[in-house]
Structure 1
Amino acid sequence: MTDLQSWVAPTYDGLADLLAAAPAGTWDAPSLCEKWSVRHVIAHVTMPARLTAEQFGAEMAAAGGNFTVLSDTVAARDASLPVADLLGQLRSPGLHAWQPPGGGAAGALTHAVIHSLDVTIALDRPAVAPAEALTAVLDQLAAADGTLFGVDLTDVRLEATDTAWSRGNGRLLRADSGALVALLSGRALPDGRILPRG
């Protein structure tokens, strides 16, 4: 089996390449993350490239131990960083090697893939994560039976239109692998599709 961490770098590098070639206004376009623009998502995912463990601890303390508050605060503040800096951080070997506390390589890949899709789906662009990475994340999310993001998979059959991946029984929901990852992550797609909350 391929090391899951090895797919993190191409995912972030692909996102950096896409954004480097995009018009400047792309950075202010809405993402799939509620209330976040593309630049907020990039500021969020690149946080490990900027903050030391001590700085992260101080940010967490200032947020009262609430990671959502910390994420919103840092994303709002650091979204104003120069685009060149954010692109450089997306390409940073430190970010590519980072693993979330307790999440390991699986958590690192899930974080990279989901947030890259928050950008690419919102911009109507192809996924930048390797196809194998999308399938690996689909497997992780499906194995958790919707509990990671609180979606209800009762009586739902998911089928990928771009691979042979499928899961479950019941009402059929077909979409490409990226869209299925987004749906299992509790995202509403631009076409209105959403999985109900559990």
Structure 2
Amino acid sequence: MDIRQAIAAERHDLAALLDQLTPAQWEAPTLCAGWRVREVAAHMSLGFRYSLPRTLTELVKARGSLHRMTDRCARRDAAAHSTGQLAAFLRENADHPWQPPMTG
């Protein structure tokens, strides 16, 4: 299995796990300070949902801080989307070739 297939399999597995969470589990805190499970799921799907122009606009709004941008977007998107939608973003984009910025 190559790396892209492994990543797709992990995304499918994560979406399946998220589908099984109770409402209380979606609200549980995570190791990411101040983020619940829903913010982490929103963050993990941000690269699929935001175009490059939208990402750059959000980065400008955050005065160039990637951390400030991702925190604001994760919180906003976690509130705007249902838990089913958050899981579906990962499932529907499992084969997406997205990479974090500044990587090879």
- Give the TM-score normalised by structure 2: 0.89
Hey, what does 2:97 align to over in structure 1? 97
Q: Which runs of 5+ in 1 are unaligned?
A: 105-198
Q: Which has the larger radius of gyration?
A: 1
Count of matched residue positions in the alignment of Structure 1 and Structure 2: 103
Structure number having the greater strand percentage? 1
Q: Distance in 2 between matches of 1:17 and 1:53?
A: 28
Could you report, residue by residue, the CA deviation over 1:13-43 in whole angstroms, capped at 9, with x for unpaired residues?
Answer: 1111111112121110011111110001001
Q: Which has the higher contact order (CA 8 A, sep 6+)?
A: 2
* Mapped pair 1:79 → 2:78: yes
- Cα deviation for residue 68 of structure 1 reads 0.3
Q: Distance in 2 between matches of 1:94 and 1:48?
A: 12
| 1:20/1:87 contact within 8 Å kept | yes
- Give the TM-score normalised by structure 1: 0.49
Letter in 1 for 2:18: L
Hey, what does 1:42 align to over in structure 2? 41
Q: Which runs of 5+ in 2 are unaligned?
A: none
Q: Distance in 2 between matches of 1:92 and 1:53?
A: 19
| 1:29/1:37 contact within 8 Å kept | yes
- Cα deviation for residue 83 of structure 1 reads 1.3
Q: Distance in 2 between matches of 1:62 and 1:12?
A: 29
Q: Distance in 1 between matches of 2:75 and 2:95?
A: 20
| 1:49/1:94 contact within 8 Å kept | no
| 1:27/1:38 contact within 8 Å kept | yes
Please provide the CA RMSD for this pair.
1.6
Percent of aligned positions that are identical: 34
List structure 1 segments (4+ residues) > 3 angstroms apart after TM superposition: none
